[in-house]
Structure 1
Amino acid sequence: MTTAQSNAASLSWYEASARQRVEALLDRGSFCEFIGPEQREASPHLSIFDLPEQFDDGIVIGRGRLEGSSVLIAAQEGRFMGGAFGEVHGAKLTGLLRAARMLKEDVLVLFDTGGVRLQEANAGELAIAEIMRAVIEARRAGIKVVGLIGGRAGCYGGGSLIAGTCSRLIISEQGRISVSGPEVIETNKGVEEFDSRDRALVWRTMGGKHRYLIGGADTFVDDEALAFRQAAINTLEMNGRYDLPLLTAEQQRLERRLTRFSPAADAIDVWQTLGIEAPTEIPGLPTKEFMRRAADKRENADDAR
């Protein structure tokens, strides 16, 4: 193992910044940033609210090599406004996805977002729609769009909708996916419905293990940059098929999932229905043992492919 690989192996994806993740994921020295620090494409709206700007508006985009193959990449910075989507932030990702069609190159999206930026709500919502359309158009053109989820902010709101349109998703235990975040659910439905301060509840409901078990993510990895890198390499070698029979099969799978798990009051009930051995132990299991128990039990999205 090289020094660079050793550093990547020890780097926590959850703790890393967007640029650290990009550097660890791609071949060393291969990344070329689009719209970098010298161009400073900051949001034109935040100063109205006396909020600080960031030169890249919380998302890094560019091109690099992964195991020698050229790829396009976008990485959200969850430490800037929770990685939220605004006008510039969304336009950068939309542009990258459109470029992928022209360049015929696959795309990696490193999600770390709480959803739409409230200060740019309309622009942010429009950005989500434009990005989803760009993902679909890229996939129809034969481009793979792979999402990687394991950052501090999770993948919430409009970010989760975009993730749902990706070709495949790679997730760690620290990753979370949900349309509504814990605080949003509690605010609208009350603490009796969902206690946002209950971290165990949040992670077993929205976290990587649960999403993997119900087929909401395709690959489960440790919280290590090298693990995400290897998973990305493997994923880009898979079939990128995208057609009406695939969508029909996926819709049928989701309908079956809804019927099967509707009676469940908690994620543990879902795991028990799946036939997982000792389901209450799932949150504390190391990856190797978790994957052993998940084998042949999880709802597999590949069944629709």
Structure 2
Amino acid sequence: MSRSSSYQEANARERLQQLFDPDSFEEFLPPSERVVSPHLGQLNAPVAFDDGVAVGRAKLDGVSVYTAAQEGGFMGGAVGEVHGAKLVGLLRRAVRDHVAAVVLLVESGGVRLHEANAGLIAVSEVMRALLDTRAAGIPVIVLVGGSNGAFGGMGIVSRCANVVVMSEEGRLAMSGPEVIETASGVEEFDSRDRALVWRTSGGKHRYLMGDCQRIVADDIAAFRAATRDTLAALTGAPAELTLEALEAEQQMLDERITRFGSLIDPADIWTAMQIPDAANVPMLDVDSFIAVADQHRMGA
């Protein structure tokens, strides 16, 4: 697949330009404004004039949405004070302007350690702003397909959205593989075992577990189609997070622990879900996988 069509290989602005209607993306606080982190320079660390995230408005088949794309090429898309403030400002402006939806192209390893507490506070403010956006009746759609995945605080932010769309190559989790290995040892999780990493946090497993609602091929056009279809499905549907939805989510998590809590490898979970030829799941193309998965996935 060429760089121009692969979602994983594209950078943030390439994704924005191809995901939405041609030339419709209008950036708020573009790099020319040079709004940079106030912390990185003090540590002699490199800065980016957009602080690793592009925010703005765009159109999807003529429908106006607000959007943000994290740049995985700058500090792994990690969130610092300015980076987080741009996301919060976008979400608050979406509420003010009452747009049709917010689409977040998430690619982040979590909080930027260089900024410590400022980054942690920023992520918490993004979560609150996202839930405020949903409470205002505006759905939030998250796309995950970049090389850095969606981990840490941005992994939590992603799961606060109405819908998560992933590719098989995308990854979604709270703690990254290296963090787990550092905290609990290689016996607990070998971060160098790339097959294990993708079995555990990759799009296929997340789809089977009910953590993402759509899975697509690693192709920007596929992400565009899924976003368009998701937006159409959400139109007129309740966007806010309700107590009933939280209780249903908790029930699903309780069921997961009961059914799979003693299993070590995701492949064992797939077998327990009675997926035919479970060991072959990583080799299935997206369409074949969906045909099998939709008969067995959590919440189906």
**Residue segments in structure 1 that go unaligned for 5+ positions in a row:** 1-6
Residues 75-90 of structure 1 mapped to structure 2, 5 A cutoff = 75-90=69-84
After the TM superposition, which segments of 4 or more aligned residues of structure 1 sit over 4 Å from their partners? Answer: none
1-structure distance, mates of 2:31, 2:158: 27
**CA–CA separation in structure 2 for the residues paired with 1:129 and 1:213:** 28
Which runs of structure 2 are paired with 1:72-221 in the superposition (5 Å)? 72-105=66-99, 106-221=101-216
Matching of residues 221-240 of structure 1 within 5 Å: 221-239=216-234, 240=237
Q: Percent identity?
A: 49
The TM-score, its normalising length taken from structure 2, stands at: 0.96
Query: TM (normalized to structure 1)?
Result: 0.94
Structure 2 distance, partners of 1:67, 1:39, is: 29
How many pairs align? 295
Corresponding residue number in structure 1 for 2:52: 58
1:261-302 deviations in whole A, cap 9, x for unaligned?
1121110111111111101001111112111211221112xx
Cα RMSD of the aligned pairs, angstroms, is 1.4
Structure 2: distance between partners of 1:212 and 1:109: 18
What is aligned with 2:245?
246
Structure 2 regions of 5+ residues with no counterpart? none
C-alpha distance in structure 1 between counterparts of 2:119 and 2:31, whole Å: 22
Q: Secondary structure at the match of 1:237?
A: helix
Name whichever of 39-48 and 53-62 sits farther off: 39-48
Cα offset for 1:139? 0.6
1:99 and 1:219 map into 2 onto residues whose CA distance is: 27
Secondary structure at 1:238 match in 2: helix
1:37 positional shift: 2.1
Q: Which residue of 2 aligns with 1:295?
A: 294
CA distance in 2, matches of 1:53, 1:213: 39
3-state SS of 1:155 partner: coil
Distance 1:177 1:246 in 2: 21
Matched, 1:283 2:282: yes
Q: Deviations over 1:22-47 (max 9, x none)?
A: 00110001110000122111111111
